[in-house]
Structure 1
Amino acid sequence: MKTLYRYISLELVKTATTAFFLFLFVILINRASQIAETILGQGVSFLDFFSILLKMLPAFFGIVIPIALIISITMVFLSMESNNEITALKSCGVSIKQISVPVIILGVVASAISFYSTMYLAPKSNVEVKRDIERLVKKKLTMSITPKNFSSNFPGIIFYVEKIFPQKGIIEDFMVSIQKKDKLITIFGKEGNLRTENDTVFLDILNGSAQILNWKKPKDFQFLTFKNYTVELFKFSSEERFNARKYQTLSQLLKEKNVESQTEILKRLCLSLSPLIVGILIFSIAVSLPRGAFGTGISLTLLTIVIYYVLYTFSKRLAFGLKLPEIALLPDILFGALSGLLYYLSIKEKLKIHTGARW
């Protein structure tokens, strides 16, 4: 029996590992194209670009791990079924329950890894990525400004720029709107230079004009022209704060003791348990399909994944909207009940999925 368990486990691990890196690569390519549009060509080195991509990866482990395991279970057991290995094992007195042992063990292991990823790795990854982007923004202040488009790269500030020279931090033929308390300052300039000094962003302007409107005193409207003018745009906080839930680990969420934090914890817990719950469901389906029903098995697997994640997204939003954290566990409750039922029927060999293929 140990040889059988070792064989099944090895096949599952190999297929899951391949699927894991494949899905991760697809996500990486998608994210790379999005980030490249923003930072490449703005004086940001490829090394910084690659570093951000690598630090983003742990944030996707919680999603990729369940999918990789589910796909591997489908591929391995459909392959065994098509090669009559399942039939041969049954004829030797090996039950479906015994065959399922490696699946359950790997499901528990995958869920544990997914739990650690969603509760700790993903938040830390999000923090590191944000810090790196803030660091790049400080170094290359024109990075988030798009030529011939309105850009809001700092709170209360809107840019419109005709030309940008990212390497030098110079902008030409621009407009900048600055909202400060009761005043709206609109500046037009021929040339400007963005720079940082002691965590403060300054804009040095050459040959420009400014319109200053006091909302409380509209009659005090001012129009100024100047050859040289420096305006303070933004001051970076000396203490970085990451209050959003996606930046908080399990330990930090537990300290807050509010409904939103509880919902976030249960939402992550729901996702981390999916490898075990959905894995058992897919196993039950795979061993109940007739020989040669490979296409049907893949289709059912993909449909199961889609339904789970649609339900996961819906329950997450519903839990936050109604402020009922327990609703976040709805996908695992429903799929857990279905998995338990199908698993029971499959080990009793009472579950037969007819697709028109031969048994």
Structure 2
Amino acid sequence: MKLLHRNIFKELISIFTLSISGFMGLILIGRLLQFRDLFMGQSIGILDMAKLFAYLCPFFLLILTPIATMLSIFLVFLRMNADNEITALKSGGLSLYKLLPAPIIFCLLCTGADIFFSLYGLSWGTENFRNSLMEFARTQSQLALKPGVFNKDFPGLVFYAETVDDEKGTMSSVFVRDSTRKGMRATIVAPLGEILTDPARGRLLIHLENGRIYQQENEQLSVLKFKNYDVRIPLANILKGYDVAELRPKEMSWEKLVRISRAGDRAGDIDKTFLRKAQVEVQKRLALPVACLVLGMFAMPIACLFRGLKQQYGLLISMGLFLVYYTMLSLGVTFGESGVLTPVIGLWAPNVTFAIISIVLLKMAVMEHSFSFRLSFLKRFRRKEA
């Protein structure tokens, strides 16, 4: 039995590794195409691009781990069923219940990994991804501000600095013309300035010290002195439309999400739509890891019930079943955010449904019920190929 479970477990690991690598490769290629303007505009190197993709991996792995778990178990037991290995084991006195330890342990390991991605990895990746983009934006802004040259790269803003330190980002004799506010223009002069980033708020600032603001509104002119003043640089041009200004619930840490969702009496100070999104995200980060166990246990009896099914068709069926699950999950997210359903019901209904179905299917598989997969259209397709 130990040898049997060890071999099943090894095969599960190999298919899981292959599946997760393939899915991640496809997604990262898609992201590369999506961020091509950002990478080309920022002149980001290959190592920096790899680092950014590494920060995005926990977000994708949270969703991909359940489908890879389901696909691995489905294909392994489908192969065993097609090669009559399960029939041979049954003839030797082993029931399907005796084969459960290896897939259960495998599903529990995948669930633990997905919990780590959900509670810690996602927020770590998001925070570092935002910080890296902000640092790239700061570097790009420093390169754009050349000493002794009026810079007009940012809409509504004109910058001039007599000297610019590219390493520290400090400037001297700074002049700023601000026309971003309608009906008002401001001219800001200061002896010292510095480019700063505020990753928490997604802002890039030019910090000025001990200067003056000449503000013109209609026909009135006012002069203000300041000790510290910040000019916000619009990031849309630098980051090619990528928004880092607002931290969305799916990018927040687990602790912050729980704190917002349990706002209690302070919930009135939070936008209701945002509050519902935070509550939905909390349940989603709990439901997806559990889906590894549910979908894995669902895939095993499904694979045992089908006979005469080749792996390429099994792959399509497995993807279709996960699509059904993900559609139910997406509907739960939509209904939860709109207030039609509570987040607990909307997000956990797919897991409960598939868990009940998996128990029924497992009993059918133990009683040796099966679905013969010999469809006429497949026969005709094979004849045409021949």
Tell me whether the two structures share a fold, i.e. TM-score over 0.5. yes
SS of the counterpart of 1:93? coil
Structure 1 residues 276-291: aligned runs within 5 Å: 276-291=293-308
Counterpart of 2:368?
A: 349
- Partner Cα distance (2:50, 2:310) in 1: 42
Counterpart of 1:336?
A: 355
Confirm whether residue 250 of structure 1 aligns to residue 277 of structure 2.
no
- Partner Cα distance (2:246, 2:124) in 1: 10
Change (3 A) 1:344 1:213: farther
Counterpart of 1:163?
A: none
1:227-260 per-position Cα deviation (integer Å, ceiling 9, x unaligned) = xxxx975169xxx998532233323323331454
Conservation of the 8 A alpha-carbon contact between 2:115 and 2:286: yes
Question: Quick one: which amino acid aligns to residue 335 of structure 1?
Answer: F
1:283-308 per-position Cα deviation (integer Å, ceiling 9, x unaligned) = 11101111344444222211111111
Q: CA deviation at 1:45?
A: 2.9
Q: CA deviation at 1:48?
A: 2.1
1:252-287 per-position Cα deviation (integer Å, ceiling 9, x unaligned) = 323331454432211111111111111111111101
Counterpart of 1:324?
A: 342
Structure 1: tracts of 5 or more residues without a match: 144-152, 160-167, 169-175, 188-195, 203-211, 223-230
Structure 2: tracts of 5 or more residues without a match: 144-152, 158-165, 167-176, 188-192, 197-204, 208-214, 222-228, 235-243, 264-274, 376-386
- Partner Cα distance (1:133, 1:320) in 2: 29
- Partner Cα distance (1:183, 1:120) in 2: 47
Counterpart of 1:23?
A: 23
Change (3 A) 1:290 1:177: farther
Change (3 A) 1:46 1:300: closer
Q: CA deviation at 1:120?
A: 1.4
Confirm whether residue 120 of structure 1 aligns to residue 120 of structure 2.
yes
Question: Quick one: which amino acid aligns to residue 308 of structure 1?
Answer: Y
Q: CA deviation at 1:343?
A: 1.9
TM-score for the superposition, normalised by structure 2: 0.68
Conservation of the 8 A alpha-carbon contact between 1:43 and 1:140: no
Conservation of the 8 A alpha-carbon contact between 1:242 and 1:248: no
SS of the counterpart of 1:234? strand
Change (3 A) 1:185 1:44: farther
Question: Quick one: which amino acid aligns to residue 324 of structure 1?
Answer: T
Q: CA deviation at 1:41?
A: 4.7
- Partner Cα distance (2:65, 2:316) in 1: 19
1:287-330 per-position Cα deviation (integer Å, ceiling 9, x unaligned) = 11113444442222111111111111111121121072212212
Counterpart of 1:209?
A: none
- Partner Cα distance (1:29, 1:241) in 2: 25
Conservation of the 8 A alpha-carbon contact between 2:308 and 2:374: no
1:178-224 per-position Cα deviation (integer Å, ceiling 9, x unaligned) = 543x636699xxxxxxxx8242349xxxxxxxxx996xxxx6599xx
Counterpart of 1:234?
A: 232
- Partner Cα distance (1:30, 1:44) in 2: 17
Change (3 A) 1:51 1:300: same
Query: Which residue among 268, 273, 277 is the counterpart of 2:290?
Result: 273
Change (3 A) 1:86 1:135: same
Counterpart of 1:197?
A: 194
Deviates more, 1:87-96 or 1:335-344: 335-344
Change (3 A) 1:201 1:342: same
**Count of aligned residue pairs for this structure pair:** 302
Conservation of the 8 A alpha-carbon contact between 2:308 and 2:372: no
Conservation of the 8 A alpha-carbon contact between 2:332 and 2:343: no
Question: Quick one: which amino acid aligns to residue 311 of structure 1?
Answer: M
- Partner Cα distance (2:317, 2:179) in 1: 55
- Partner Cα distance (1:133, 1:158) in 2: 23
- Partner Cα distance (2:124, 2:17) in 1: 23
TM-score for the superposition, normalised by structure 1: 0.73
Confirm whether residue 47 of structure 1 aligns to residue 25 of structure 2.
no
- Partner Cα distance (1:282, 1:309) in 2: 15
Conservation of the 8 A alpha-carbon contact between 1:124 and 1:247: no
SS of the counterpart of 1:56? helix
Structure 1 residues 87-166: aligned runs within 5 Å: 87-141=87-141
SS of the counterpart of 1:44? coil
Sequence identity, in percent? Answer: 22
Question: Quick one: which amino acid aligns to residue 123 of structure 1?
Answer: S
SS of the counterpart of 1:140? helix
SS of the counterpart of 2:368? coil
Confirm whether residue 13 of structure 1 aligns to residue 30 of structure 2.
no
> Which runs of 4 or more aligned residues in structure 1 lie more than 4 Å from their structure 2 counterparts after TM superposition?
184-187, 219-222, 240-243
SS of the counterpart of 2:305? coil
Change (3 A) 1:318 1:141: farther
Question: Quick one: which amino acid aligns to residue 197 of structure 1?
Answer: E
